[in-house]
Amino acid sequence: MIIIIIIIEGMAEGAASPVKSVAEASLLMKSINDLTQCAICHEMLSQPKLLPCFHTFCLGCLQKSFADQQPGDGVPCAVCRRIFNVPDDGIEALPPHFFVENILDSKRILNQLTQQHKCEICCDDDDDDDGFEKQFATSYCGECAQFLCSRCSKYGISLSVYTL
């Protein structure tokens, strides 16, 4: 699976240089949120389906909207009103929007990585009398799939430890 990593310091749409301000980063995130929002339910897309007009909707929203339609029936896009035919195998047979699915996956990963995590080594330790204050994670070990504080990451021998 290809995953698109969304980096706030990335390129703004149409810009020739990296994002330079919080306002530009905010606009970039708004654009990404707009791209991943269903125009029917106004929620984050779930099982995004691509219509022939290139608009994207949740599979569930399309199923509800066209529940009474039969394969071959002409139905309008909820955004541009362009008519398309319900596929022979039903709405489920519309193609998935892989690009949007990758953006959604990236947003989920970004949300997980930007949440504050406690160190999974010293915070899992039941011995509170060890004299060490429990720390927030500053790195992540891809090999053992654990968040680590700076003290615990020093003991890691894996090359898969990434700074957060």
In a domain, 65, yes or no: no
Residue 96: its pLDDT value, please?
A: 97
Residue 114: its pLDDT value, please?
A: 59
Cβ proximity of 89 and 112 under 8 Å: no
Distance CA 115, CA 154 (A): 22
Residue 106: its pLDDT value, please?
A: 84
Domain identity same for 126 and 138: yes
pLDDT digits (tens, 9 = 90+) for 137-159: 877 777 777 888 878 877 665 54
Domain identity same for 110 and 31: yes
Domain identity same for 155 and 120: yes
Alpha carbon distances (Å) from 5 to 83, 84, 164: 35, 33, 14
C-alpha 23: how far from chain center: 21
Residue 137: its pLDDT value, please?
A: 80
Domain identity same for 43 and 120: no
Domain identity same for 121 and 159: yes
Distance CA 151, CA 138 (A): 9
Check: pTM over 0.85? Answer yes or no. Answer: no
Domain identity same for 101 and 42: yes
Domain identity same for 37 and 105: yes
Where the chain has pLDDT below 70, the residues are 1-23, 25-26, 113-115, 124-134, 155-164
Domain identity same for 35 and 109: yes
> What ranges make up the beta strands (E) of 102-160?
139-141, 146-148
Domain identity same for 103 and 134: no
In a domain, 86, yes or no: no
Distance CA 116, CA 56 (A): 33
Domain count of the chain? 2
Domain identity same for 104 and 126: no
Domain identity same for 143 and 99: no
Domain of residue 33, CATH code: 3.30.40.10
Domain residues for the domain of 160 are 116-164
